[in-house]
Amino acid sequence: QVQLVESGGGVVQPGRSLRLSCAASGFTFNTYAMHWVRQAPGKGLEWVAVISYDVSNKYYADSVKGRFTISRDNSKNALYLHMNTLRTEDTAVYYCARGRRLLRDFDYWGQGTLVTVSS
């Protein structure tokens, strides 16, 4: 079965960096786009970034553009989110999600990893 397991969250000071990972299994990873979606405490869902199946395309939400970098290693079935210059407003649960190219939705989600940006 499809499994997505995030890791790497924690408490970090404003201005610092953090890297999140998502381990994928149960499907052919290198045929799917992958996304990061976040949810601030008590708030709704916010799409963060997407990377195409072949790494050729990456897109970001304006709120993270220039600070966050999405990447993947298809040989390891792994997705990453490199977060630089973190701000308090980046505090959220970060989910990785599998994207369906033709339907542009998110059909499987990980359980999430909490990032807290605080001094």
Partner 1 sequence: EIVLTQSPGTLSLSPGERATLSCRASQNIGSSYLAWYQQKPGQAPRLLIYGASSRATGIPDRFSASGSGTDFTLTISRLEPEDFAVYYCQQYGTSPWYTFGQGTKLEIK
Residue ranges binding partner 1 (CB under 8 A):
35, 37, 44-47, 50, 59, 61-62, 95, 100, 103-112
115 strand-pairing partners: 10, 92
Burial (CB count within 10 angstroms: exposed 0-12, middle 13-18, buried 19+), residue 104: exposed
For residue 84, give both structure tokens. Answer: 């630089």
> CB neighbours of 76 closer than 8 A, spacing ≥ 6?
none
In the bound complex, what is the minimum distance in angstroms from residue 75's beta carbon to partner 1?
26
On whether the CB atoms of residues 113 and 97 are closer than 8 A, the answer is no
If the CB atoms of residues 17 and 31 are measured against partner 1, the closer one turns out to be 31
In the bound complex, what is the minimum distance in angstroms from residue 4's beta carbon to partner 1?
9
In the bound complex, what is the minimum distance in angstroms from residue 71's beta carbon to partner 1?
18
